Amino acid sequence: MKTAATEPPVTPTPAPTPARGTEPAPSAPRTRDADGMAVASFLLGLPGLLVLNFVLGPAAVVLALVALSRGTRRRGRALLGLALGVADLLIVVGLTVANHGVIWSFA
């Protein structure tokens, strides 16, 4: 009878390292941008309660939603910016209804 031949032990080869400059980009800049958007939405929504609420309100809402979708670490600040932006828009609607039209006139 034939005896089974033993095979030499297999040594694992290390994984190839990626070429220089092809490493995946770190997620830190994306998070930092999202954090900046969260702060910007808050800072735009706050003065929007008093002036230019028809411009600053939508900007605050958009920035807050983008920051939340990108996973900001400043989630509370983004939610405050979202709430202030919505409040800005509610103020515009309330003032428009109360005055039976827009307050400003260009004539």
d(CA 26, CA 32) in angstroms, rounded, equals 11
- Summarised one tens digit per residue, pLDDT across range 21-35 is 555 555 566 677 888
Q: What count of other Cβ atoms lies within 10 Å of the Cβ of residue 40?
A: 19
Q: Where do the H-state alpha helices sit in 1-107? A: 28-48, 53-69, 75-98
Asked if the structure places residue 71 within a domain, the reply is yes
Per-residue pLDDT, averaged over 32-44, amounts to 90
Range of the domain at 43: 29-98
Higher pLDDT, 52 or 29: 52
Query: What's the domain count of the chain?
Result: 1
**pLDDT (tens digit, 9 = 90+) per residue, 55-93?**
999 999 999 999 999 988 989 999 999 999 999 999 989
Q: Is 10 within the bounds of a domain?
A: no
Q: Does 18 reside within a domain?
A: no
pLDDT given for residue 4 in this prediction: 60
Residue 22, in any domain of the structure: no
Q: Is residue 41 assigned to a domain?
A: yes
For residue 101, is it left (φ>0), alpha (ψ between -120 and 50) or beta?
left
pLDDT given for residue 99 in this prediction: 80
